[in-house]
Structure 1
Amino acid sequence: MTQLDIKMGVGLRIKELRNELGYSQETIAYSIEMSRTYFAEVETGKRNISIENIDRIAQGLGVSLKEFFNSDLFVK
């Protein structure tokens, strides 16, 4: 994956997990004390997110990092 691809993959995975739970961006962002604007930019692949924030989002979505990255989105 290229740099852009990995950012898009992370964003798509967040959106996929969030939609499975039926939560809005605002609901998840609020629950993990993150700006909704920042969260939205991560979800659309516009932000280069740190692993700490990926972990924070994964926890908010109720998955481990292993579960988060266990997706066809991250297969080369």
Structure 2
Amino acid sequence: MNIKEKFGAKVKQLREERNFSIEHLADISNVDRNYISDIEKGKRNVSIEIIEKIVNGFNTDIATFFNDKSFKKK
């Protein structure tokens, strides 16, 4: 799994854990819903600005978001 896929999987995991629809996450993060869908599928090379918007939408911080075993090298 590449980093785009890992990031997308994490976004989808958090979104589903919080019972957010893609539309809701798009609204609270100010990111287009189609863009979020593509992120979750690992199709987007996401900028740091978009990462920040999504992380803020989850009401967390970047360090917490990335402090996850899914981002550790194996």
Once residues 67 and 15 of structure 1 are traced to their aligned partners in structure 2, the CA distance between those partners, rounded to angstroms, is 16
- Counting aligned pairs with the same residue, the percent is 38
Aligned partner of 1:53 in structure 2 is 50
Distance 1:70 1:61 in 2: 15
Alpha-carbon displacement from aligned partner over 1:9-60 (angstroms, at most 9, x marks no partner)? 1001111111111101110101222110011001110000001111110000
RMSD: 1.1
- Gaps of at least 5 residues in structure 2 are none
Structure 1 gaps, min length 5: none
1:40 correspondence with 2:42: no
Return structure 1 stretches of 4+ with deviation > 6 angstroms.
none
**1:17 alignment partner AA:** L
Matched pairs, number: 73
- TM-score when scaled to structure 2? 0.92
Task: Say whether 1:5 aligns with 2:2.
Answer: yes
Partner of residue 65, structure 1: 62
